[in-house]
Amino acid sequence: MNITDIDFNQLYIQQKKETTFQPKTKDEWNKKAKKFSTNLYKSIYNQELLNNIDFDDCRTFLDIGCGVGNISLLVAEKLDQVYSLDFSPMMLDELKNNIKNKNIKNIKTLNLSWEDNWDNVPKCDIVLASRSMEVADMKYALTKLNNKALKKVYLTYKVGGSFLNDKILNYIGKKIKKKPDYIYTINILYQMGINPKLNYIKSEGKINSYKNENDFIESVLWSVNDLTNNQITLLKEYYHKFIKNSKNEKNYLCWAVISWNKKKKPCL
């Protein structure tokens, strides 16, 4: 057996079906919109991602899974036109409020999901999917991104296959099945004839952001919602032992930045 005998997309699809971390519904994201807008720009992730994007000779930008506009609002001043796409209407409502408050004129919103028809989505010089690649079929999603890009594609994917710290999971005795890691994406692109560039950036972990015990528990339940009463009790215990008095502790998450140039087969 060699690498050409392995269907990485099929392996991805299978693991995605089995993982503990299932995609959230439109309604679940709608409920998060206000909180996300309150925290607009409050992450080193935004600037680290922008530092990895080459805007030279680019005038248009498509932001897939734009949310409340963390990236769209920042790139609008660099470009002629930004298209911001998200399947959550409440996220887009918050983005529209942010656009109005900042008096930005060159952002257009698109209320679409990965599964919708994108025929009317404009092709743009740069296409970005930032922290929005929790898709059932990776090759299908990558093909949609590639088809909408005139020059460059960028995406980010969480490194490690889990949104929860292993220390928390071990403490409460919760076994999980990890989601497919970013390496699947690299190999799927390779089998599509694309040689991507890979880099890594960081974002703040949540250890410093929990307001209280309930906030911590709700955050964990956002990722794994089938905890027992005993596991909830252990979560409370964990919070008071390791998190409550750790406000100054440095904590980061790692993200893979995967990119490629539409006009060149070699790496960027």
User: Is there a domain that residue 88 lies in?
Assistant: yes
Please enumerate in sequence order all residues whose Cβ is within 8 A of that of 217, keeping only pairs 6 or more positions apart, or say none: 232, 235, 236, 239
Same domain, 96 and 229: no
User: Is there a domain that residue 216 lies in?
Assistant: yes
The model's confidence at residue 34, banded by pLDDT at 50, 70 and 90, is: confident
pLDDT for the residue 268? 46
The yes-or-no verdict on residue 264 having pLDDT over 70 is: no
Same domain, 219 and 153: no
Cα R_g (the chain), whole angstroms? 19
Same domain, 194 and 244: no
pLDDT for the residue 39? 74
pLDDT for the residue 11? 97
> Residue-wise over 4-24: b if at least 16 C-beta within 10 A, else e?
eeeebbeebbebbeebbbeee
Cα–Cα distance measured from residue 102 to residue 117, given in angstroms and rounded to the nearest whole number: 31
Same domain, 234 and 185: no
Please state the domain count of the chain. 2
CATH number at residue 61: 3.40.50.150
* Terminal alpha carbon distance of the chain: 30
The yes-or-no verdict on residue 217 having pLDDT over 80 is: yes
The model's confidence at residue 266, banded by pLDDT at 50, 70 and 90, is: very low
Tell me which residue range forms the domain holding 221.
Answer: 207-249
pLDDT digits (tens, 9 = 90+) for 218-255: 989 988 888 999 999 999 999 998 888 776 666 788 99
Instruction: Over range 65-82, report the average pLDDT.
Output: 96
User: Is there a domain that residue 125 lies in?
Assistant: yes
78: which 2 tokens? 């660099």
* Bridge partners of residue 84, in order along the sequence: 63, 109
User: Is there a domain that residue 190 lies in?
Assistant: yes
User: Is there a domain that residue 231 lies in?
Assistant: yes
Same domain, 151 and 228: no
Same domain, 87 and 217: no
Least confident stretch, 92-96, 143-147, 165-169: 165-169
Least confident stretch, 85-94, 95-104, 197-206: 197-206
Same domain, 158 and 215: no
**Strand ranges across the sheet with 149-158:** 107-111, 81-86, 60-64, 124-129, 149-158, 252-261, 197-204
User: Is there a domain that residue 267 lies in?
Assistant: no
Same domain, 185 and 239: no
The yes-or-no verdict on residue 267 having pLDDT over 80 is: no
Same domain, 144 and 242: no
Cα–Cα distance measured from residue 240 to residue 233, given in angstroms and rounded to the nearest whole number: 11
Q: Between these two residues, 247 and 78, which has the higher pLDDT value? A: 78
The model's confidence at residue 123, banded by pLDDT at 50, 70 and 90, is: very high
The model's confidence at residue 133, banded by pLDDT at 50, 70 and 90, is: very high
pLDDT for the residue 251? 73
User: Is there a domain that residue 244 lies in?
Assistant: yes
The model's confidence at residue 3, banded by pLDDT at 50, 70 and 90, is: confident
pLDDT for the residue 173? 94
pLDDT for the residue 206? 66
Instruction: Over range 24-30, report the average pLDDT.
Output: 89
Contact 63, 124 (CB under 8 A): no
Instruction: Over range 198-221, report the average pLDDT.
Output: 85
Torsion, Cα 73 130 225 112, to 10 degrees, reads 70
**Mean pLDDT across the chain, nearest whole number?**
92
Same domain, 244 and 256: no
Same domain, 148 and 230: no
The model's confidence at residue 263, banded by pLDDT at 50, 70 and 90, is: low
User: Is there a domain that residue 169 lies in?
Assistant: no
Cα–Cα distance measured from residue 261 to residue 59, given in angstroms and rounded to the nearest whole number: 15
The answer to whether the Cα torsion of 209, 180, 109, 27 is positive or negative is negative
Same domain, 134 and 44: yes
